[in-house]
Structures are given as structure tokens and as C-alpha cells.
């Protein structure tokens, strides 16, 4: 059978002088007050998740929610205090040092929040760095690096030093570098948080474009729900070191597991999240339709046409009409009302 | 009890009741005054003079230990002596090569019958090669400066001595920089090592070089190698410190990137951390070079040859002009080395800005120059007569300098002498009498009290123990003379330095001038100051005082300016909006907030003042510096080392107390370090 590319079970990370005792007793899942009283900080508690090959998985949380610690556990930068992280079914923390080195050299790539570019190397040197570490010959690694630099649209700047580039360009270098080894698993740790909002949007498009091209498995960390929505196949929302809920953006919006998740999704751009299936009403028999929309299409993609038409649109799934959407449904989505039956 | 009440000053400060805050210090001052003016009979004799019977014969123990170490101690396969002599011969070999290339060449035979096998680099080839290197590193201006400086050395007949000095400095700097880097990296990796190293580094920096030159002579034999080891020990601590700070300052993400790219530990260190930290590390290298030069000059006075020896010999002959010329040669060498090292440190920044074509042309020019230099060297080997700088082209300004000094002395003798006498009578001698009149138990008690108030019991015990050590080894009087000379010098430095720092802090134009002056003062080897001052004021405490102040005033200015500049602009604006006058802005806002920085500057001032002691011993002071100098000339290891440790302890007591005070202030104002 094929394993999920990355999975973790019962992962916890505790900091503090007496952390190890809590881990031994298995008490880290308990109330944070008890831990805090003992001077122990539980950055991550009890996290289970599976990430499927080719999926874009976003871990979202505010600062201090433990998302950065979690991604460091997932990438084996820090060993978890408890639980296991499995990469293609192999436990990263018990694996031999040499095997882990090989996985990192060939199967993982990471983009950092503050770019982590080496100041003494040019763009070309930075992108070629992971290959240099592997001992790839100079001509070969520079050819590969140039290809990556072209991919992220920085051709002609390969001789520049990092400090001569804008923030967005620097992160493009970071992206090119993380892709140079052609990794299967691509970590992006708040890659755009240090950038201006406009640049951030542009870079999100860039990631979407690259993902369309390369089809990597992505683990993306962010504190920005809108960013998560734009990029994610699935989103995990974290709070106080725990995962509150994992699901597609639409699932989080429609069926929030906790009040915390609901609070997050309330202000979300509903039209960009909800699909036709989620907002449709049962189709009255023999109705006439102004047009048809796919059940998986986002509301934002057809709202304009539906609004302009007098009659409702049919929602189709594989050719069969399964419901209708009309102007009223569009307004419901916009103002965030619960769905009512279309004027019966 | 009033002392207990005074340990909680915040309450008193806030309510504005100064009574308790002032009552305790006032009482202490009164007690001190009474004690000093008491007749000798009022206290038991042991309070005035630490009894001989209580003294620990530490110098004798150390000398015996060194003897045992060198004669009997064994590390199993080989003796300690074998080990140290092995290190010494390795160092000698390296030094021999450096000197052969730069100064002496390789000769066969001895005396008049010696035939030169390989000549040293001839002066014109050296100038060409050095200027090319300077051009590659720092551009046209540095290259021109390098050529002019080296030409000066040749024209004024200082070439041979300067090259001997340069060879030692280069070897010591390479060893010091590499060693410092490795130790620093090890300290970053193992925190325990860092904790062990920290006091050792303090010691190495505050102890007079003479003090450990002596054990080195015994360990490594009489020769340039032991001077080299002493030099490296002195020059290495800043490199270790800079390395630790610079490597720690590399962002955590860079380290993580290394791990995620599958770097081995070695790859992370040498491919990522060290190159990323390179600009900061080069600052440390610069320090190593300057400190090495300083010590090499001092070491050459005890017979290693080179520029230091020339200066000392000239002073002994009362050849003021000759001494000054050799001194200027040291200065030229110092400035050249400093600028070159600085250019190297800034190089990474500049390379990027260059266009590719220009860089290629530059490289070509440098290569051509280096090939020419090599060719000239070979030519000099074939025709040795062209290698020597012709005597006819040599200049000397020495007679004019001598005339100038004698003219000043003839015309202004009475003025200069009046200044000197006034200072001695009104300031120096009273302070000296006062310091010597203090009973030692009272001083120890005062130090402990200060330690307790500033940092708690631990600080009180460590500082108290260090102070007691001065008495126990029987050097109380000498130590007090040291404290007196340094104390007065530091006080004057602060009185001069703080106002200058405040005035220059927010006036960029003035600051540029001030910075240039203090940079120059700090670049010059400490030794240089003595020459003109001795010429004007002859030997004695007053001369020593001026030399120390000149050397030690720089940090007082620098840190004050830094502190004043760091005061947040919003606070200044808040002050202006509440209607503070300029004076109020200064006294109510700027100075109080800058105090922690000023204290750190004071700390540095004290350290520099103490490090000058060894130099001032040459002009006949009677303090611990003289003690180490005397021990050196008598080859008394124990005595020299103990005196050196005393200097180090005085420095460390001051350092610990002031650091604790600065830390306390910082915490109270909530300013970051």
C-alpha cells in the first residue's frame, strides 16, 4: 500500500526545565494551566495529521499557536517530545542520521520566513547551494540553478547579491533554492509574511503557478486566513498547540468544529470559498434555467452571471441537474445569511 | 538599620526623600576621612601594614611549580618540556621563514664570510606587491597610501627594522586570528567551554603582557617563539569574543536552511556560518592585528629586535629625534596595517557594487604587478647590489626634531616645569598619600559593601576575595600606587571624555573630527605617546599620567556619544513638549538614560589605563607595572606573575562592580543591552 507522504501521530513538543517529566507521564495533553504552573510550555500538543501526495496542506494559526514548532517537527528540524513523524512511512526521529541527510538532500525543500539567503553568495550561488552541499559538479549545479532562476522569473539577476534585491525578489530566490533539488515535499514557513500585501498576492499567484507546473506536495504555514483559502486544498487551524480542525475551506466555513474556527471563518470571503453545491436549492421540477454552473464552481466565479439573469441557473454534477441557484442565493452568500429555500 | 534600609532605594527615590540615600555614603566617607587622619597608634599595626607573617609566599610557590613543570613533569610519552620546546621550534620555523622572506633572507655561513643564498624581498618589489594587494582589497586610494607609507620606511632608513616587526606581526596575527576563530567556534558549540573561557579571556586582556611573557620564556625557551606565544595570548581574546557574538548573530533560519539542505555539521560551520559572519569576523581580525603590533613592539624591547628596540635604544641615548623617527615608523606601520585590515573587512560589501568588466581589469592589473614583484625579487637574487636601498637616498629629520625639542625646553622650561610641579603638588601627591594611608581592612570592607549593594552576596565575595589577594601576596602598597595612578588618570579621562562625547554626539561634523582623533590615538601603539611627553616633562608620574589619559580617553568619549545618541527620539520630543530647556533635556533625559553606556565606557577606560601601566613603567613609575618589569629583568617568574595577577584583579574588581551597576540601571530603565 502507499503511505501518505507525511503523517504524524500524537506529536507534542514541550519546552521547559521539567518538560521531560510531563512527557514521560503522558500528561502534556492536559490543561495548559497545569503545564504553565510547572513552567512548561507546550508549543505543540497531540497533533495527528496525514498529508497526501500532491496535496497543498496549509497550517494556519496566529502567532504563538505552535504552527512554526509543528512545521519544525514535521521537517525534523526539532525532534518531537512525544509521538512520531512518518515520512513515506519511515519514522524521522528514529532514522539513522545518514538516511535523514539523504532525505533532506533529495526529497525535501524549505522556504523560510526571512528568506535565509546567504549574504556572501550571489543569487546563482544561493540557488546552487543545496546542490553544492551534495557535491554536484559546478557546471551541472549552475545549469540546474539557472533553470530554477528562470522558473521563478529572475533571469538576468543571477550575478546579484541578496541585499541588492527587493523582498519579493529575495523570496523568489528562496523559492528557487528550495526547488533546486527537485524535492517531493515542499515546506513553506510563512514565506510571504515579511512582504508587502501587494507583493504577497503576487507571490501567492507564483506559488499557485509553480504548483500547477510541478505538482509538489506542499506544507504551507501562514497566519493569514485569506492566504490559506487562496492556496490550500486542506487547512489545519491551530490554537494553543492543538489542531482545532482540519478540512477544506468550505468545510471550515460551513461546519466549524469550534467557536474559534467559526470566529475565523466569519469574516472570510465567502463567495470565494463556497461552491455552487453548498449554496444551491433543490431544483423545482420543470423549471426553466438561464444557464448552468458546475457543482464544484466557486460562487465568485458565476455570481455575476446569475445576478444578471432573470431566471435561476441549474447546478449540474456530471451532466445531471442537482439543484438551482438564483439572485437571492447570491445575496445570501454575500451577506453571510444561512441558506434558505429558494422562493418556494 | 540604615544600611538595610538603603538596600531598597527605589522607594526612597520615588518619594523623593534623599536622606537615606545619602546618609550611608556620607557615613562611609566620614569614616574613611577619620581613618585616614588617625594617628598611627589609634589602630593596631596590622591594619596599617599587612603583616609579613600573614603573607602567602605565592611567588616562591609559582617559581617552584614552574621549575617542577619544566624539569620533572611528564605527560606520559613525553615531558612537558618536550612539548613546549616542540611548539617553540615549530613557531621558530614559521617565524624564520617570515623573517627570511621579508627582512633577512637565507644565508649560509656566519659573520663576514656569510653568503646569501636567497635574498629577502627587495624594498621596491615589496612596495609593488603590497600596493597591488592594497589595490585588490581597497582600491586606488589604499594602494597609493600603502606605497607612500612603505616608501617612507625606506627613505628614512627604517626598512630593515620595520620588516622584522612586520614579519612577527603577520605570523602572530595569522595564528591569533585562526586560533581565536577556532576557540570561538568551540565556545559556540559547547557552552561549558564558554563559561570556562570567559574569566581566562578577562585575565589575558587585563594582565600586563610582561607578566606572562616571563612564564612563556621559561616554557618556550629564550627566543622569539615565547614572545610570539605571549603576543598571541594577548591578541586572541577579542577574536574569540567577536567570533562568539558574530556566529550567534547569524539568523537561526540560516542554520535551519543548512539542516534542511542536508548539510553536515562541518558544512554548516564552514560553508554557511563563517562566511555569513565574515564581515563581523574581519573586525576581530583587525583587532588581532593591532594588538599584535602593540605587543610585538613591547616584546622587541626585550631583545627581539625591530622598531620597538630602535625606539628604546634611541631614548636611552637621549636621541630624541631618532626615537621619534622610529616611533613614526611604528605609527606608519600601524596605520597601514589598520587601513588594510579595515578594507578587507569592508570588501564583501564593495565587491557587489563593481561592474564585471572593471573587476576583471583590476584582477589583471594586480596579477601583472605581482608577477613584476616576483621578477624583481629574482633579479635581486642574481644582482644583489640592486636590492639595497642606496644610502645616498636616505633622509633623516632626526636632527631637526632634536633641535625643536631643545628649543622648546630652552624657551618653555619654566612653564612646563610649573605645570608639572603644580599637578604633582596639588593633585598627584595628595591622592597618593591618601591611598597609601587607607587601612587595608577598610578598603576590603568598602569593596565588599559596594559588591553587595550592586550585585548581591556572590559579587561581594568575589570582589572582596580579589581585593584581599592584593594584601595576602604582600603587594598592597604597590597595588594602591597602581590604583592611585590609574584612578587619577581615569578620573581625568572621564572629566575630559564625557563632555566631549555629549557635545559631539548630535553634531555630525564635530563627531567626524573627534572620531578621527580618537581613532588615531587608538591605532598608535601605546608606546608612542611616551616619546614626546618624556621629551617635555621628563620621567615620572606626571608623564605617565598624561600618556595613560591620552590612551584611555577614547572609550570615555565613544561610549558617551553612543549612549547619548541611543536615547529614543520620542523621549527627547516628549521632553521638548513638556517645555524642557536644552540644559534640562541634557540633565533630565539624555544623561540619565545614557548612564549605562557611560558606565561601560568607564569600564573600558579603566581597562585601557591598566594596560598602559607596563608602558609607563619605562618612565619610572613605582606601581605594579614596575613590579612586573623588574621581575622580568630578574627572570623571577613568580614575582612577575603575581604582580600581573594583581593588575588583572584590580581590573576585574572594577569591571565586575561597574558592570553590575550598569546592569542594575539598565533593568530599572528597561533599556535593552
**HEC profile for B393-453?**
HCCCCHHHHHHHHHHHHHHHHHHHHHHHHHHHHHHHHHHHHHHHHCCHHHHHHHHHHHHHH
Q: What is the pLDDT of residue A120?
A: 82
| A202 found inside a domain | yes
Residue carrying the nine cell digits 431544483: A283
Q: Does A116 touch chain B (CB under 8 A)?
A: yes
Asked if A118 lies within 8 A of B272 by C-beta distance, the reply is: yes
Which residue among B251, B264, B275 sits closest to A120, beta carbon to beta carbon? B275
Q: Do A109 and B260 touch (CB under 8 A)?
A: yes
What burial class does residue B77 get, using C-beta atoms within 10 Å of its C-beta: 0-12 exposed, 13-18 middle, 19+ buried? exposed
Q: Which residues does chain A have within 8 Å of residue B260's beta carbon, measured at their own beta carbons?
A: 75, 77, 104, 108-110, 187
The predicted structure's pLDDT at residue B8: 44
pLDDT given at position B324: 77
The residue among A213, A240, A266 that closes a domain is A266
Contact at CB, A105 and B356, closer than 8 angstroms? no
Contacts of A103 in chain B (CB under 8 A): 262
Please, is B578 exposed, middle or buried when counting C-beta atoms within 10 Å of its C-beta (0-12, 13-18, 19+)? exposed
pLDDT less than 70: residues of chain A: 1-2, 26-32, 337-344
Across the interface, of B256, B259, B261, the residue whose CB is closest to A129 is B261
Report the chain B residue with the minimal C-alpha distance to residue A174.
Answer: B257
Partner-chain residue, chosen from A114, A120, A132, that has the shortest CB–CB distance to B348: A120
| Nearest CB neighbour to B267, from listed A116, A118, A133 | A133
From CA A11, how far away is CA A43, in angstroms rounded? 11
Residues A60 and A117 in one domain: yes
Predicted confidence at residue A145, as pLDDT, reads 93
Mean pLDDT of B293-302: 75
pLDDT confidence bin for B84, thresholds 50/70/90: confident
Same-domain status, A249 and A277: no
Structural domain harbouring A90 = 51-266
Interface probe for B, chosen from A105, A113, A116, A160 (most Cβ of B below 10 Å), is A116
Looking at the domain assignment, is residue A131 inside a domain? yes
C-beta of residue B613 within 8 angstroms of C-beta of residue B625: yes
Residue in A133, A163, A164 closest to B261 by CB: A133
Place of cell 612586573: B628
CB-nearest to A120 from B258, B267, B278 is B278
Indicate the residue among A215, A233, A266 that finishes a domain.
Answer: A266
Residue B164 in this model has a pLDDT that exceeds 80 = yes
Query: Which residues from A are below 8 Å from B355, CB to CB?
Result: none
**Per-residue pLDDT reduced to its tens digit, B542-583:** 888 998 998 889 889 988 988 888 888 778 878 777 777 788
* pLDDT tens figures, A96-114: 888 888 888 899 999 998 8
Q: Does residue A4 sit within a domain? A: no
Alpha carbons B288 and B182: distance in angstroms, whole number: 14
Kindly give, in sequence order, each residue whose CB lies less than 8 Å from that of residue B549, ignoring residues fewer than 6 positions away. Answer: B489, B492, B493, B496
In order of A265, B168, B175, B470, the CA distances from B208 in angstroms are 69, 19, 21, 16
Question: What pLDDT shows up at residue A27?
Answer: 64
Q: State which of B57-61, B174-178, B328-332, B641-645 shows the largest mean pLDDT.
A: B174-178
Q: Does A112 contact B at CB distance below 8 Å?
A: yes
Domain harbouring A241, CATH code: 3.40.50.300
The answer to whether residue A188 is domain-embedded is: yes
| Predicted pLDDT of residue A149 | 93
Cβ-Cβ contacts under 8 Å for B64 (sequence gap 6 or more) = B638
Residue A237 lies in a domain: yes
Contact with chain B for residue A91, Cβ under 8 A: no
Contact B257 A116 (CB under 8 A): yes
- Classify residue A61 by its DSSP letter: -
Q: Say whether pLDDT at B205 is over 50.
A: yes
State percent of chain B over pLDDT 90.
Answer: 9
Average pLDDT over residues B317-342: 82
Q: Do A246 and A282 share a domain, yes or no?
A: no
Determine the distance in angstroms separating the CA of A22 from the nearest CA of chain B, rounded to an integer: 26
Helix (H) or strand (E) segment spanning residue B343: helix B320-351
Evaluate if residue B302 carries a pLDDT over 50. Answer: yes
Identify the DSSP state of B585: I
* For residues B502-530, average pLDDT: 81
Boundary of a domain, candidates A224, A250, A266 = A266
In the predicted structure, residue B3 carries a pLDDT above the cut 60: no
CA-CA-CA-CA torsion sign (B256, B261, B262, B268)? negative
Residue A211 shares a structural domain with residue A83? yes
pLDDT range class, residue B21, cuts 50, 70, 90: low
Contacts of B258 in chain A (CB under 8 A): 133
Half-sphere exposure for A108 (CA within 13 Å, toward CB): 30
Q: Does the structure show a pLDDT above 80 at B77?
A: no
- pTM beyond 0.95: the answer is no
* CATH number, domain with residue A318: 3.90.1280.20
Least confident of A307-316, B70-79, B184-193: B70-79
Subunit contact B262:A118, Cβ cutoff 8 A = no
- Inter-chain contact B256–A110, Cβ cutoff 8 Å? yes
Contact B253 A112 (CB under 8 A): yes
> Is the distance from CB of B569 to CB of B585 less than 8 angstroms?
no
Which one of A104, A120, A174 would you mutate to disrupt binding with B, by most B Cβ within 10 Å of its Cβ? A120
CB contact under 8 Å between B260 and A113, yes or no, is no
For residues A238 and A300, state if they share a domain. no
A116/B253 touch (CB, cutoff 8 Å), yes or no? yes
- The span from the CA of B541 to the CA of B551, in Å, is 15
Residues A287 and A236 in one domain: no
- My answer on whether A317 and A198 are in the same domain is no
If we measure between CA atoms, which residue out of B597, B507, B494 comes closest to residue B554? B494
Quick check: A130 and B276 CB within 8 A?
no
Q: Testing the interface with A: which of B260, B278, B344, B352 to mutate, by most A Cβ within 10 A?
A: B260
Which of A54-58, B395-399, B440-444, B461-465 shows the lowest per-residue confidence on average (mean pLDDT)? Answer: B395-399
Give the confidence band of B91 by pLDDT, cuts at 50, 70, 90.
confident
Nearest to B259 among A77, A134, A163 (CB): A77
Q: Annotate A75-126 with DSSP letters as a single string.
A: TTSS--SEEEEEETTEETTTS-HHHHHHHHHHTEEEE-TT----TTS-HHHH
Instruction: State how far the alpha carbon of B625 is from the alpha carbons of B44, B472, B540, B639, B642, in Å.
Output: 30, 18, 13, 12, 11
The label of the residue with cell 528562470 reads: A150
Q: Using the beta-carbon criterion (under 8 Å), do B261 and A120 form an inter-chain contact?
A: no
CB A124 within 8 A of CB A145: yes
B231-274 pLDDT, tens digit per residue, is 888 888 889 988 998 898 888 889 999 988 888 888 899 988 99
- Give yes or no: residues A255 and A276 share one domain: no
Identify the CA nearest to B546 among candidates B424, B671, B402: B424
A34: in domain: no
In the A/B pair of chains, how many CB contacts fall below 8 A?
64
> Could you tell me if B70 and B219 are in contact, meaning their C-beta atoms sit under 8 angstroms apart?
yes
Domains of chain B (ranges, CATH numbers): 166-304 (1.10.3720.10), 473-669 (1.10.3720.10)
Looking at the structure of chain A, the number of domains it has is 2
The residues with which A246 forms a beta bridge, in sequence order, are A236
The values of phi and psi at residue B620, to 5°, are 85, 30
When CB atoms are compared, the residue of B251, B256, B262 closest to A101 is B262
CB contact under 8 A, A163 and B257: no
pLDDT at position B11: 41
Check whether residue A163 and residue A295 sit in a common domain. no
A148 & A224 share domain: yes
Q: Residues A124, A205: one domain?
A: yes
Place of cell 632634536: B402
- Among A106-115, B22-31, B202-211, B440-449, the range scoring the smallest mean pLDDT is B202-211
Query: Does the predicted interface ipTM exceed a cut of 0.85?
Result: no
Let me know if residue A27 belongs to a domain: no
Q: Look at residue A344 and tell me if it is in a domain.
A: no
A92/A210 same-domain check: yes
Amino acid at each position: 500500500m502507499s503511505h501518505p507522504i507525511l503523517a504524524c501521530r500524537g506529536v507534542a513538543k514541550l519546552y521547559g526545565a521539567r518538560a521531560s517529566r510531563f512527557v514521560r507521564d503522558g500528561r502534556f495533553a492536559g490543561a495548559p494551566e497545569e503545564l504553565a504552573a510547572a513552567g512548561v510550555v507546550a508549543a505543540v500538543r497531540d497533533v495527528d495529521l496525514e498529508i497526501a501526495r500532491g496535496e497543498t496542506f496549509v497550517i494556519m494559526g496566529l502567532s504563538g499557536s505552535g504552527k512554526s514548532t509543528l512545521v519544525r517537527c514535521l521537517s525534523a528540524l526539532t525532534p518531537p517530545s512525544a509521538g512520531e513523524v512518518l515520512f513515506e512511512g519511515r519514522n524521522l526521529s528514529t532514522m539513522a542520521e545518514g538516511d535523514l541527510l539523504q532525505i533532506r538532500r533529495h526529497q525535501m525543500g524549505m522556504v523560510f520566513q526571512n528568506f535565509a539567503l546567504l549574504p556572501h553568495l550571489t543569487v546563482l550561488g544561493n540557488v546552487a547551494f543545496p546542490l553544492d552541499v551534495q557535491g554536484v559538479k559546478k557546471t551541472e549545479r549552475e545549469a540546474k540553478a539557472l533553470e530554477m532562476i528562470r522558473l521563478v522569473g529572475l533571469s538576468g539577476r543571477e550575478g546579484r547579491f541578496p541585499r541588492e534585491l527587493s523582498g519579493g525578489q529575495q523570496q523568489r530566490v528562496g523559492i528557487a533554492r528550495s526547488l533546486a533539488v527537485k524535492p517531493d515535499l515542499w515546506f513553506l514557513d510563512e514565506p510571504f509574511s515579511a512582504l508587502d500585501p501587494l507583493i504577497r498576492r503576487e507571490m501567492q499567484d507564483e506559488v499557485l503557478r509553480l504548483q500547477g507546473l510541478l505538482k509538489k506536495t506542499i506544507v504551507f504555514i501562514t497566519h493569514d486566513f485569506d492566504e490559506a483559502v487562496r492556496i490550500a486544498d486542506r487547512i489545519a487551524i491551530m490554537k494553543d498547540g492543538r489542531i482545532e480542525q482540519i478540512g477544506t475551506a468550505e468545510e471550515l466555513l460551513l461546519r466549524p468544529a469550534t467557536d474559534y474556527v467559526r470566529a475565523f471563518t466569519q469574516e472570510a470571503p465567502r463567495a470565494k470559498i463556497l461552491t455552487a453545491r453548498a449554496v444551491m436549492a433543490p431544483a423545482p421540477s420543470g423549471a426553466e434555467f438561464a444557464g448552468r454552473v458546475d457543482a464544484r464552481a466557486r460562487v465568485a466565479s458565476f455570481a455575476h452571471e446569475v445576478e444578471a439573469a432573470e431566471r435561476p441557473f441549474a447546478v449540474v454534477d456530471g451532466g445531471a441537474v442537482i439543484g438551482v441557484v438564483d439572485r437571492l442565493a447570491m445575496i445570501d452568500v454575500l451577506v453571510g445569511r444561512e441558506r434558505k429555500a429558494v422562493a418556494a | 538599620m540604615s544600611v538595610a534600609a538603603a538596600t531598597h532605594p527605589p522607594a526612597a527615590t520615588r518619594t523623593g526623600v534623599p536622606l537615606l540615600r545619602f546618609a550611608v555614603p556620607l557615613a562611609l566617607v566620614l569614616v574613611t576621612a577619620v581613618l585616614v587622619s588617625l594617628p598611627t597608634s589609634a589602630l593596631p599595626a596590622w591594619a596599617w601594614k599587612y603583616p609579613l607573617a600573614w603573607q602567602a609566599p605565592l611567588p616562591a610557590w609559582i617559581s617552584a611549580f614552574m621549575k617542577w613543570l619544566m624539569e620533572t613533569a611528564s605527560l606520559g610519552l613525553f615531558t612537558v618540556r618536550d612539548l613546549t620546546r616542540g611548539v617553540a621550534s615549530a613557531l621558530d620555523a614559521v617565524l624564520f621563514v617570515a623573517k627570511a622572506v621579508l627582512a633577512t633572507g637565507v644565508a649560509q655561513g656566519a659573520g663576514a664570510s656569510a653568503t646569501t643564498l636567497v635574498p629577502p624581498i627587495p624594498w621596491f618589489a615589496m612596495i609593488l606587491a603590497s600596493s597591488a594587494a592594497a589595490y585588490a582589497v581597497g582600491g586606488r586610494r589604499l594602494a597609493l597610501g600603502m606605497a607612500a607609507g612603505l616608501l617612507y620606511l625606506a627613505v628614512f632608513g627604517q626598512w630593515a627594522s620595520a620588516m622584522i616587526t612586520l614579519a612577527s606581526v603577520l605570523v602572530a596575527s595569522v595564528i591569533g586570528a585562526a586560533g581565536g576563530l577556532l576557540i570561538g567556534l568551540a565556545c559556540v558549540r559547547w557552552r561549558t567551554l564558554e563559561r570556562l573561557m570567559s574569566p581566562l579571556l578577562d585575565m589575558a586582556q587585563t594582565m600586563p603582557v610582561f607578566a606572562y611573557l616571563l612564564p612563556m620564556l621559561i616554557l618556550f625557551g629564550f627566543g622569539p617563539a615565547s614572545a610570539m606565544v605571549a603576543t598571541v595570548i594577548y591578541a586572541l581574546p577579542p577574536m574569540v569574543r567577536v567570533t562568539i557574538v558574530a556566529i550567534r548573530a547569524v539568523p537561526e533560519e540560516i542554520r535551519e536552511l543548512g539542516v534542511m539542505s542536508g548539510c553536515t555539521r562541518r558544512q554548516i560551520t564552514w560553508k554557511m556560518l563563517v562566511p555569513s559572519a565574515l564581515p563581523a569576523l574581519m573586525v576581530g581580525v583587525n583587532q588581532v592585528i593591532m594588538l599584535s603590533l602593540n605587543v610585538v613592539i613591547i616584546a622587541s624591547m626585550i631583545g627581539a629586535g625591530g622598531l620597538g628596540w630602535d625606539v628604546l635604544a634611541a631614548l636611552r641615548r637621549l636621541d630624541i629625534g631618532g626615537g621619534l623617527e622610529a616611533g613614526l615608523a611604528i605609527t606608519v606601520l600601524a596605520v597601514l596595517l589598520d587601513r588594510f585590515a579595515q578594507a578587507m573587512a569592508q570588501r564583501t560589501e564593495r565587491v557587489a557594487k563593481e561592474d564585471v568588466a572593471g573587476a576583471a581589469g583590476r584582477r589583471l592589473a594586480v596579477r601583472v604587478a605581482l608577477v613584476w614583484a616576483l621578477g624583481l625579487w629574482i633579479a635581486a637574487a642574481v644582482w644583489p647590489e640592486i636590492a639595497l636601498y642606496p644610502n645616498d637616498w636616505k633622509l633623516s629629520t632626526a636632527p631637526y626634531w632634536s633641535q625643536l625639542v631643545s628649543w622648546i625646553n630652552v624657551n618653555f622650561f619654566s612653564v612646563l616645569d610649573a605645570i608639572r610641579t603644580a599637578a604633582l603638588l596639588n593633585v598627584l601627591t595628595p591622592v597618593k598619600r591618601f591611598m597609601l594611608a587607607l587601612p587595608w581592612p577598610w578598603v576590603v570592607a568598602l569593596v565588599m559593601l559596594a559588591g553587595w549593594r550592586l550585585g548581591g552576596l556572590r559579587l561581594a565575595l568575589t570582589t572582596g576575595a580579589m581585593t584581599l589577594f592584593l594584601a595576602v601576596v604582600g603587594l598592597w602598597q604597590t597595588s594602591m600606587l597602581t590604583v592611585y595612578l590609574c584612578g587619577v588618570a581615569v578620573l581625568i579621562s572621564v572629566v575630559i571624555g564625557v563632555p566631549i562625547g555629549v557635545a559631539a554626539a548630535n553634531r555630525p561634523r564635530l563627531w567626524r573630527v573627534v572620531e578621527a582623533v580618537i581613532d588615531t590615538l587608538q591605532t598608535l601603539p601605546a608606546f608612542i605617546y611616551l616619546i614626546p611627553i618624556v621629551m617635555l616633562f621628563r620621567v615620572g608620574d606626571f608623564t605617565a599620567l598624561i600618556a595613560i589619559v591620552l590612551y584611555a580617553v577614547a572609550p570615555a568619549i565613544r561610549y558617551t556619544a553612543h549612549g547619548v545618541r541611543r536615547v529614543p527620539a520620542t523621549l527627547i520630543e516628549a521632553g521638548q513638549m513638556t517645555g524642557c530647556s536644552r540644559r534640562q533635556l541634557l540633565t533630565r533625559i539624555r544623561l540619565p538614560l545614557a548612564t549605562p553606556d557611560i558606565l561601560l565606557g568607564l569600564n573600558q577606560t579603566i581597562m585601557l589605563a591598566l594596560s598602559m601601566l607596563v608602558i609607563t613603567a619605562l618612565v619610572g613609575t613605582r606601581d605594579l607595572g614596575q613590579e612586573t618589569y623588574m621581575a622580568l629583568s630578574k627572570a623571577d617568574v613568580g614575582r612577575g606573575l603575581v604582580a600581573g595577577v594583581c593588575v588583572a584583579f584590580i581590573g576585574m574588581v572594577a569591571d565586575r562592580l561597574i558592570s553590575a551597576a550598569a546592569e542594575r540601571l539598565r533593568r530599572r530603565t528597561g533599556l535593552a543591552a
